[in-house]
Amino acid sequence: MMMLGLGSVGLVLLSLAVQSGHGAQDSMCVSMYSAVWSRAETTERNYYTRYHNMSEITAWMEQMKRENPDVVSSMVYGQTYERRDITLLKIGLSSTGRKKAIWMDCGIHAREWITPAFCQYFVKEILRTYKTDTKVNEMMKNLDFYITPVLNVDGYIYSWHNESTRLWRKSRSPGTGGCTCYGTDLNRNFYANWGMVGVSTDCCNLFYCGTKALSESEAWAVTDMLGKMSEDILAFLTIHSYGQQLLVPYGHPNISAPNHDELMEVGLGAATAIKAVHGMEYTVGTSPDILYPFSGSSQDFARLIGIPLSFTFELRDKGEHGFELPEDQIQPTCEEAYAGAHHIITYAHDKVFYSYAATVTATLSTTLLAAWVSSATLL
């Protein structure tokens, strides 16, 4: 029998669901619709080229801890509306001193399945390379990576129920004041110019911002963690789809980040690293400039509380497949996005730990990485 999380994961889904306290509801992940994505022969080689439901991702997180006990631990830092745990992986080499941190979250919008796939790929890559890549090893010594593969757990599970729920975006909290619709857009619910622009007060709308800032337990959990760690976090990366964009704060058209020029420079460097892998173009800028204005985002909140580098990745594509990106694009999407994230993280690391210009180091490192990724096969 193959290893849990990288083998016959379908065999453990029901037991995991029951153990989590949501057996009746989560077991729908193995319904007829979920079976479209189930594989009898999932191997380590092809695991990262497929989408995985929440039970499979939970099993994978446990597997990462078991296989890498010296560098990987997990932390439950909140609960969803439906009382499911919100869990992150903490990755880094042990240190006697206080370490700096990188934050990454995926799956804040349920239908954006490529984003949990990227968080899984990112974890796999840094764990694969830190023993042989001197730069990754150095960053693992100086930084801890806090990675949430699925933030909107309730919504993500719901998006796997059947074809009618596949494109669910929001959380799963019920409406108030007689509104019978469910869910709040978690990326409109943060305490950053909340409710000012690009949102809706109609609880049936996709961009419903909630009854107040932090009305959603998921947004509160992230806010609480960021507040505790803000002095140590060098970069905040939140992963979305789609559009092939790198967004910098702020979403409000009349507000600019104090280090806007730096954010643009680093973002453009990341876009260059992304393009070097498979030739894909990513546009860099503020949301009002290249997408649309909106407020209450986690990215804006991170910059507002002093985290210097805050970026939103909008992964492939530009609308041909949209939120239903085919599985044969998972690998190339993750490869190029990894190069972009690596550039940002390298810049953030070198700016703090070296006195010379970080941009030179980051550009050289990510250019070499991109050249390697474009010629490598998935391991």
Residue 79 CA to residue 23 CA, distance in Å, equals 17
H or E element at residue 19 = helix 13-19
- In degrees rounded to 5, what are phi and psi of residue 319? 130, -10
- 343 and 273 in contact (C-beta within 8 Å)? yes
Contacts of 29 (CB under 8 A, 6+ apart): 13, 17, 53, 54, 55, 157, 160, 161
H or E element at residue 58 = helix 54-67
Q: In what order do the strands lie in the sheet containing 245-248?
A: 72-79, 85-91, 143-148, 100-106, 233-241, 309-315, 245-248, 283-286
Nearest to 170 by CA among 204, 147, 194: 204
Residue 200 CA to residue 178 CA, distance in Å, equals 16
- Between the alpha carbon of residue 143 and those of residues 28, 70, 262, 379, the distances in Å are 38, 15, 21, 25
Residue 171 is encoded by which pair of tokens?
Answer: 């959380």
Active-site annotation, residues: 314
Give the three-state DSSP class for 152. Answer: coil
- The secondary structure of 161-193 as a DSSP string is S-GGGTT--S--PBPSTT---B---GGG-SSSS
The half-sphere exposure of 368 on its side-chain side, counting CA atoms within 13 A, is 8
- 296 and 244 in contact (C-beta within 8 Å)? no
Percent of residues in the chain assigned helix, strand, coil, to nearest 5: 45, 15, 40
